[in-house]
Amino acid sequence: MSISADAEKSQNEKSETPRQIGTPEDILGNDDAITEEAATLAGWKLLAISFSVILSIFLASLDLTIVATVISYLTSEFYALDDVAWYSSVLLLTVATTQGIWGKAFKYFDIKLIYLLSIFTFELGSLVCAVAPNSSTFIAGRAITGLGAAGTFSGSYIVIGVSAPAKQRPALTGLFFYINLPCGGVAAAFVLMFLRIPSNIKVTGVSFKEKVLQMDFPGVALSIGAMLCYMFALQWGGTTKPWVSADVVGTLVGFVVLALAFIIREYYQGDRAFLPRSVLKNRMIVLVALYCFFLAGVFYIFLFLLPVYFQAVKGTDVIESGIRQVPLILSITLLQIIVGTVISVTSHFNIFIILSRILSTVASGLWISVSADAGHSVWIGYQVLAGIGIGAGLTVPIIVTQAIMDPQDIALATAVVIFGQSTGGTIILPAATSIFQNILLKTLSRTAPSIPAAQIVAVGATNLQSKFTAAQLPGIRAAYIKGLHDAFILSAALSAMSLILACCFPWRNLRKKKEVEDTNGVNERRSAINDSPAKEA
């Protein structure tokens, strides 16, 4: 009786102790509750949280698509052609470089509070953009928006990770994309009212000083500095300044120096680093992040260059250009939902990322040869093919990350993966824009020699029809097509690289892996309970 009482007392003491994520108790509290789903939401509460998370993702995702469509209008409105790359890239810059801070914040502070803060920050940035009187203010607003979007992206996956049963997460993750501002208040209200963090998930108990050190602000500053140097170099190079000019060469050298300093610092920081060493030791996470880097590059090339094709080459206005992009956006959205649902049922993901990369490579190759007089069936079909290729592979990385990582590492691993994705956009989109602009200027001197190339570019894609004669337009359109073709060559190369990485992913059944881990945790727990009385005896 004494042994039994002591064992019971020991179990009660354990149940009263706050549990940290990743401990055996986090997997199983007792013999009757041996799954993680006991700590998750269900029914209408889960539905409300899922709805709020979808709205939050909608804030960030739709913001990107809107700017991609109206970017030509913005350059004309603000008379700032040199800033065209900044309207999109600065948001991606802050998304990428602040992922580490948000990931650490979700680990060391209250998840609910940090998630609401990210939504508020995004709303503030959107407000600044809405009232911006000039290009500089608009860019500042985009930077603030990106800061909030960084927390919204990673936080949404974390909220679903702590709220939904494991078997439902892939399907819910597939609903995140393309569902802005009017939705923010609704999303925040639902999170505030209905999000309840499970009692077994506790804020990591460290001092405030340690929490600040974990944010790795110097690392963030180095990464921002490196990215800014890179973006300035590609903005100036070949368009407003020669590639051999002191400004371009100096910023490229600054990019290399700051990037090396960032890498060295991250190595010596260990788990305090912006990119924690413990997470980077996981080969799968590194593969996923690199895969996202190349995939994001392809996605943003299509997203930002297709409006140029429709407006400059096809002569559409901003609204019609957006309508003509519906095949791309719709196919991406549907494939994410379908793939997320299928993975939740089958637990197999490899076939989707491999097929998606093949289709994306083929679609990029087709756009290399698209002509100015291509019919509706051509540009619709090519967009659908690209959308299927991008959409089928866009959801998988986060699903895989949440399935293979221990619970206490999900926030940091998610931040690393989104860092790879955002960095891909930050680096590749300016490169594609630079290729397009340089080839455009070079080709205009041959196809439209009677008009200064700088004058044509300054007009903007949306105003070509009204500023030039019918005799001048064919030569201008030919130059635009040539620039777009060369940019899509980069897209094809990136798709091929991501295909190689997709083939390197180990073939595994995510459900079987989870079942094995849960079984091991159950056995260890039961063994500890059974052995404890014997040792005391």
Domain containing 414 — which CATH number?
A: 1.20.1250.20
Percent of the chain with pLDDT over 90: 25
Output the six-digit token pair for 420: 């790879």
Lowest mean pLDDT among 52-61, 284-293, 489-498: 52-61
Output the six-digit token pair for 474: 């064919």
Q: What is the mean pLDDT of residues 160-179?
A: 53
Q: pLDDT at position 72, please? A: 65
Q: pLDDT at position 270, please? A: 78
Q: Which secondary structure element, helix H or strand E, spans residue 232, and what is its range?
A: helix 217-236
Q: Identify the CA nearest to 356 among candidates 344, 376, 342.
A: 342
CB atoms under 10 Å from CB of 83, counted, come to 18
Considering the domain boundaries, does residue 19 fall inside one?
no
The residue written with tokens 């600054």 in the block is 254
Q: pLDDT at position 166, please? A: 58
Q: In terms of pLDDT, which residue wins out, 512 or 238?
A: 238
Q: pLDDT at position 75, please? A: 64
Considering the domain boundaries, does residue 506 fall inside one?
yes
**What is the C-alpha to C-alpha distance for residues 122 and 126, in angstroms, rounded to an integer?**
6
pLDDT band at 93; cut points 50, 70, 90: confident
Q: pLDDT at position 259, please? A: 94
Q: What is the mean pLDDT of residues 134-151?
A: 88
Given a cut of 90, whether residue 363 has pLDDT beyond it is yes
Beta bridge partners of 241: 237
Name the 3-class secondary structure at 33. strand
**What is the C-alpha to C-alpha distance for residues 414 and 426, in angstroms, rounded to an integer?**
18
Sign of the Cα torsion 69, 74, 75, 80 reads: negative
Cα-to-chain-centroid distance, residue 61: 9
CB 306 within 8 A of CB 362: no
Size of the chain, expressed as the number of residues it contains: 537
Given a cut of 70, whether residue 513 has pLDDT beyond it is no
Q: Which secondary structure element, helix H or strand E, spans residue 442, and what is its range?
A: helix 410-447
Considering the domain boundaries, does residue 361 fall inside one?
yes
Question: Among the residues of 237-276, which ranges form H helices?
Answer: 246-269
Residues in Cβ contact with 270 at an 8 Å cutoff, skipping those fewer than 6 apart: 276, 277
Residues in Cβ contact with 297 at an 8 Å cutoff, skipping those fewer than 6 apart: 424, 425, 427, 428, 429, 432, 490, 491, 494
Q: pLDDT at position 170, please? A: 53
Q: What is the mean pLDDT of residues 222-230?
A: 91
Considering the domain boundaries, does residue 203 fall inside one?
no
Considering the domain boundaries, does residue 418 fall inside one?
yes
Considering the domain boundaries, does residue 202 fall inside one?
no
Beta bridge partners of 283: none
pLDDT band at 44; cut points 50, 70, 90: low
Given a cut of 90, whether residue 226 has pLDDT beyond it is yes
Highest mean pLDDT among 123-127, 189-193, 393-397, 484-488 belongs to 484-488
Q: What is the mean pLDDT of residues 514-527?
A: 48
Q: What's the chain's Rg over C-alpha atoms?
A: 25
Provide the domain count of the chain: 1
Q: pLDDT at position 64, please? A: 65
Q: pLDDT at position 309, please? A: 92
Lowest mean pLDDT among 125-139, 152-166, 286-300, 475-489: 152-166
Q: What is the mean pLDDT of residues 38-60?
A: 64
Q: pLDDT at position 34, please? A: 33
**What is the C-alpha to C-alpha distance for residues 499 and 15, in angstroms, rounded to an integer?**
47
Backbone phi and psi for residue 238, each to the nearest 5 degrees, phi listed first: 80, -10
Q: What is the mean pLDDT of the chain?
A: 77
Q: pLDDT at position 193, please? A: 60
Considering the domain boundaries, does residue 297 fall inside one?
yes
- Cα dist. 352→169, 293, 396, 464 in Å? 17, 17, 8, 41
Given a cut of 80, whether residue 50 has pLDDT beyond it is no
Output the six-digit token pair for 113: 């509070």
Q: pLDDT at position 161, please? A: 65
Q: What is the mean pLDDT of residues 481-496?
A: 95
Given a cut of 60, whether residue 201 has pLDDT beyond it is no
pLDDT per position as a tens digit, 405-453: 777 777 778 888 888 888 898 899 889 989 998 999 999 989 999 888 8
Q: What is the mean pLDDT of residues 211-237?
A: 86
**What is the C-alpha to C-alpha distance for residues 494 and 491, in angstroms, rounded to an integer?**
5
Q: pLDDT at position 40, please? A: 53
Name the 3-class secondary structure at 237. strand
Lowest mean pLDDT among 116-120, 177-181, 208-212, 461-465: 177-181
**What is the C-alpha to C-alpha distance for residues 234 and 332, in angstroms, rounded to an integer?**
29
Percent of the chain with pLDDT over 70: 72
Sign of the Cα torsion 499, 503, 506, 509 reads: positive
Q: pLDDT at position 414, please? A: 81
Considering the domain boundaries, does residue 7 fall inside one?
no
pLDDT band at 247; cut points 50, 70, 90: very high
Q: pLDDT at position 488, please? A: 96
**What is the C-alpha to C-alpha distance for residues 69 and 321, in angstroms, rounded to an integer?**
7
- Cα dist. 271→24, 405, 412 in Å? 22, 16, 10
Q: In terms of pLDDT, which residue wins out, 304 or 273?
A: 304
Given a cut of 50, whether residue 370 has pLDDT beyond it is yes
Highest mean pLDDT among 52-61, 111-120, 510-519 belongs to 111-120
Q: Identify the CA nearest to 176 among candidates 196, 155, 162.
A: 155
Given a cut of 60, whether residue 41 has pLDDT beyond it is no
Q: pLDDT at position 36, please? A: 45
Given a cut of 70, whether residue 473 has pLDDT beyond it is yes
- Enclosing domain of residue 511: 37-197+208-216+274-521
Cα-to-chain-centroid distance, residue 224: 17
Given a cut of 60, whether residue 104 has pLDDT beyond it is yes
Q: What is the mean pLDDT of residues 178-204?
A: 52
Q: pLDDT at position 61, please? A: 67
